[in-house]
Amino acid sequence: EPEVTQTPSHQVTQMGQEVILRCVPISNHLYFYWYRQILGQKVEFLVSFYNNEISEKSEIFDDQFSVERPDGSNFTLKIRSTKLEDSAMYFCASKTSGRNEQFFGPGTRLTVL
């Protein structure tokens, strides 16, 4: 069964460094999302992406964040200058146009030191 994949599974970085989290959505899906979950807290929406542009973003998704679909299969989240409070589990999700459910990847655990 097709699934969303994410790499790396765990990323450790120093504060101020740039990180790129990668996602491969399910192949026929057209809607893409990033969410994050700080340890012990709710899953929070960051951004949604459709037709090669951001369709919606949250207050969390400030100028330090960007998303890109560099080719036909990858969907990336870049954090330009990481902060301690960016430490969280980052989930990618995708959705096809014919159905409403979003399918989530296994997540990337980002640790900022």
Task: Give residues in contact with another protein (CB under 8 A).
Answer: 4, 31, 33, 35, 42-45, 48, 50, 55-56, 58, 89, 91, 93, 95, 100-107, 109
Q: Report the candidate in 32, 12, 11, 25 with the shortest Cα–Cα distance to residue 105.
A: 25
CB of 45 to another protein, least distance (A): 4
Q: Which residues contact 70 (CB under 8 A, 6 or more apart)?
A: 76
Residue 13 or 44: the one with the smaller Cβ distance to another protein is 44
Rounded distance between C-alpha atoms, residue 23 and residue 36, angstroms: 14
DSSP lists the bridge partners of residue 46 as: none
Q: Contact, 45 vs 108, CB < 8 A?
A: no
Residue 17 or 30: the one with the smaller Cβ distance to another protein is 30
Residue 69 or 109: the one with the smaller Cβ distance to another protein is 109
DSSP lists the bridge partners of residue 68 as: 76
CB of 8 to another protein, least distance (A): 14
Residue 25 or 107: the one with the smaller Cβ distance to another protein is 107
CB of 24 to another protein, least distance (A): 14
